[in-house]
């Protein structure tokens, strides 16, 4: 037991629950990048993990008390569902996520009105409920690591309740520039930044995001808070286990049958505005238009699964993606060829199979804190596949030497990157694949956790409210 005095805090937890046929609770691993990189480092440490109970089954599990999992304790926090929607949908996702990823259509959104201010007050309350749960659970003199943009106000509140604790914060998304932050009312921007600065230190996946946060803090607070940069790492051992599983092997065989000896472009993403799915398909279509020799010789397998269906923007985006792919396939299909295979089933073994088989992996977010698919692909791939990667992803800092960089807004440029990747000589593919593999496995989830533990210090309590 390595860290019995550690408390990890995140919105989405390492386990999620569902109810089986006869009403019993079934446990499975929680979804998302945060859990897949932090989970392996926390397993077996004896730490406590405080997370939100998100579904009805999670709430049922929470009502039965803390769960002893694989060498850690999960304390689920059941929040009133209406309050949770204000916290998660209105502020965390429709405001902070949009702000940090630059997704606002500014002539129309956001609308900072009375309802928005009520939602912000609820966001503060929910953050404080997390802080109270941490204060109740944390051992004397322990360390609290708070994760992500949903919980920026937790550490400062913890510091006021339990000054004996060390705190650290990790922000998984990009951070916006000062000019973008000006969308928020001054008092809210001040509260947000002061509370983040109230942790021992705030961590980011890329220097770009930490510099932006520091610039915002200087502009709004007049001070530069403690920060650190530590890109998340993937668990290569766990990936190898999934890749070798009968489920993933069967999925690979199924994919091989559909693709045959054609080239394969793959993407694996949530259906998420920042992931830039539409420009990816537009670039593929531009390739088919401009380089006719690729018609019938390449297939684009898109494993994209729905998320955040409480937000109209996500529902509309999903409908747009489906309609676009249908139109593209109607335009270009032949009796023996379907250009885009759209799979929206959220099957991890199936996504892993696609990552084993790609010739080109397209990762083109408009902005991304890190992007773990860009690391997972090169570790799983068995064909010296080429990574075409947005320079706006935090992962670019780690993978720039082996990937083909692309400007995610430039559809012609993305089509050119796809063309270059598909035509790349075998020797160059192998050399780049080896560089990517080394870069993606250089650090482990344990290294990432160690970086966070090293900088957690007794916090100031900030000026969070």
User: Shortest Cβ distance from residue 149 to ligand F6P (Å)?
Assistant: 6
Cα–Cα separations (whole angstroms), residue 225 to 160, 180, 197, 198, 202:
18, 19, 5, 8, 8
| CA-wise closest residue to 98 among 108, 83, 86, 110 | 110
- Nearest distance from C-beta of residue 453 to ligand F6P, angstroms: 20
Binding mask 281-310 for ligand F6P (x = CB under 6 A): --------------------------xx--
Smallest distance from the beta carbon of 368 to ligand F6P, in angstroms?
9
CB of 448 to ligand F6P, least distance (A): 13
Q: What is the contact mask toward ligand F6P in residues 4 to 23, using x (rule: CB under 6 A)?
A: --------x-----------
Question: Shortest approach of ligand F6P to residue 32 CB, angstroms?
Answer: 3
Are 328 and 339 in contact by the 8 Å Cβ rule? The answer is: yes
Q: Which is nearer to ligand F6P, 34 or 366 (CB)?
A: 34
Determine if 445 is a binding residue for ligand F6P (CB under 6 A). no
Phi-psi region of 26 (alpha: psi -120 to 50; beta: other; left: phi over 0): beta
Of 14, 32, 168, 280, the one binding ligand F6P by CB under 6 A: 32
- Phi-psi label, residue 308: left if phi above 0, alpha if psi -120 to 50, beta otherwise: left
Region of 30-38, 136-144, 283-291, 383-391 interacting with ligand F6P (CB under 6 A): 30-38
For the segment 349-408, give every residue that binds ligand F6P (CB under 6 A).
369
Torsion angle of C-alpha atoms 72, 307, 394, 14, degrees rounded to 10: 0
Check: CB of residue 271 under 8 Å from CB of residue 308.
Answer: no
- What does the radius of gyration of the chain's CA atoms come to, in whole angstroms? 22
Question: Which of 172, 267, 279, 318 touches ligand F6P (CB under 6 A)?
Answer: 172
The pair of three-digit structure tokens given for residue 145, joined into one six-digit string: 């690591």
- Find the shortest distance in angstroms from Cβ 110 to ligand F6P: 18
138-157 positions binding ligand F6P, by CB under 6 A? 148
Nearer to ligand F6P, 160 or 172 (CB): 172
Contact between 203 and ligand F6P per CB under 6 A: no
Q: Candidates 127, 129, 173, 364: give the one binding ligand F6P (CB under 6 A).
A: 173
Buried b (16+ CB within 10 A) or exposed e, 306-333: bbbeebeebeebbeebeebbeebeeebe
Burial class (CB in 10 A: 0-12, 13-18, 19+), 152: buried
Q: How far is the CB of 173 from ligand F6P (least distance, A)?
A: 5
- Stretch touching ligand F6P by CB under 6 A, among 32-40, 62-70, 120-128, 292-300: 32-40
Q: Shortest Cβ distance from residue 444 to ligand F6P (Å)?
A: 18
Query: Which residues are CB-contacts of 403 (< 8 A; sequence separation ≥ 6)?
Result: 374, 386, 387, 388, 389, 396, 432, 436
- Give me the least distance between CB of 66 and ligand F6P, in Å please: 21
What value, to the nearest 5°, has the Cα angle with vertex 80 and ends 77 and 83? Answer: 110
Residue 12: closest CA among 132, 172, 136: 172
**Surface-to-core class of residue 365, CB atoms within 10 Å of its CB (0-12 exposed, 13-18 middle, 19+ buried):** buried
Nearer to ligand F6P by Cβ, of 369 and 464: the residue is 369
Minimum gap (Å) between residue 341 Cβ and ligand F6P:
23
> Among 28-36, 76-84, 231-239, 334-342, which window interacts with ligand F6P (CB under 6 A)?
28-36
If one asks whether residue 34 binds ligand F6P (CB under 6 A), the answer comes out as yes
**The only residue of 33, 280, 445, 462 in contact with ligand F6P, by rule CB under 6 A:** 33
Q: Which long-range contacts (CB under 8 A, 24 or more apart) does 290-294 make?
A: 290/415, 291/419, 294/263, 294/419, 294/422
Which residue stretch of 27-35, 76-84, 339-347, 433-441 sits at the interface with ligand F6P (rule: CB under 6 A)? Answer: 27-35
Residue 217 C-beta: closest distance to ligand F6P, Å: 20
Output b/e per residue, 64-96; b: 16+ Cβ within 10 A.
eeebebeebbbbbbbbeeeebebbbbbbbbbbb
Q: Which is nearer to ligand F6P, 38 or 259 (CB)?
A: 38
Q: Are 283 and 414 in contact (CB under 8 A)?
A: yes
Number of residues binding to ligand F6P, judged by CB under 6 A: 10
The pair phi, psi for residue 158, each rounded to 5°, is -60, -45
Binding residues for ligand F6P (CB under 6 A): 12, 32-34, 148, 172-173, 307-308, 369
């Amino acid at each position: 037991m390595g860290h019995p005095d550690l408390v990890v805090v995140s919105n989405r937890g390492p386990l999620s629950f569902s109810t089986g046929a006869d009403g019993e609770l079934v446990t499975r691993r929680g979804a998302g990048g945060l859990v897949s990189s932090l989970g392996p480092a926390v397993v077996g440490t004896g730490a406590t993990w405080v997370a939100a109970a998100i579904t009805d089954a999670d709430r049922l599990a929470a009502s039965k008390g803390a769960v002893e999992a694989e060498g850690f304790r999960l304390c689920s926090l059941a929040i009133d569902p209406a309050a949770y929607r204000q916290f998660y949908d209105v502020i965390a996702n429709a405001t902070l996520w949009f702000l940090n990823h630059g997704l606002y259509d500014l002539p129309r959104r956001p609308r900072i009105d009375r309802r928005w201010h009520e939602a912000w007050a609820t966001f503060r309350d929910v953050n404080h409920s997390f802080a109270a749960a941490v204060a109740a659970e944390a051992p004397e003199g322990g360390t609290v690591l708070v994760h992500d943009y949903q919980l920026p106000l937790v550490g400062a509140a913890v510091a006021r309740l339990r000054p004996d604790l060390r705190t650290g914060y990790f922000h998984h998304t990009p951070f916006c520039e000062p000019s973008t932050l000006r969308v928020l009312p001054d008092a809210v921007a001040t509260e947000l930044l002061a509370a983040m600065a109230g942790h021992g230190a705030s961590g980011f996946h890329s220097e770009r995001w930490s510099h932006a946060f520091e610039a915002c803090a200087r502009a709004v607070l007049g001070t530069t808070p403690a920060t650190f940069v530590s890109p998340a790492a993937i668990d290569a051992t766990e990936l190898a286990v999934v890749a070798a599983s009968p489920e993933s092997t069967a999925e690979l065989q199924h994919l091989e049958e559909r693709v045959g000896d054609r080239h394969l472009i793959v993407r694996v993403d949530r259906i998420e505005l920042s992931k830039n799915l539409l420009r990816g398909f537009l670039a593929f279509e531009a390739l088919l238009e401009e380089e006719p020799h690729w018609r019938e010789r390449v297939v684009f397998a898109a494993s994209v699964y729905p998320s955040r269906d409480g937000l109209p923007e996500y529902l509309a985006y999903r409908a747009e993606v489906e309609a676009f792919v249908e139109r593209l396939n109607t335009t270009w299909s032949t009796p023996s060829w379907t250009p885009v295979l759209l799979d929206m089933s959220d099957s991890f073994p199936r996504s892993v199979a696609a990552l084993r088989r790609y010739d080109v992996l397209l990762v083109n977010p408009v902005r991304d804190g890190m992007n773990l698919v860009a690391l997972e692909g090169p570790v799983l791939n068995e064909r010296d596949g080429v990574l075409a990667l947005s320079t706006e992803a935090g992962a670019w800092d780690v993978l720039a030497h082996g990937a083909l960089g692309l400007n995610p807004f430039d559809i012609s440029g993305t089509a050119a990157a796809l063309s270059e990747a598909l035509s790349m000589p075998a020797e160059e593919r192998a050399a780049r694949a080896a560089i990517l593999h080394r870069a993606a496995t250089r650090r482990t989830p344990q290294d990432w956790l160690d970086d966070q533990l090293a900088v957690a210090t007794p916090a100031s309590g900030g000026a969070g409210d």
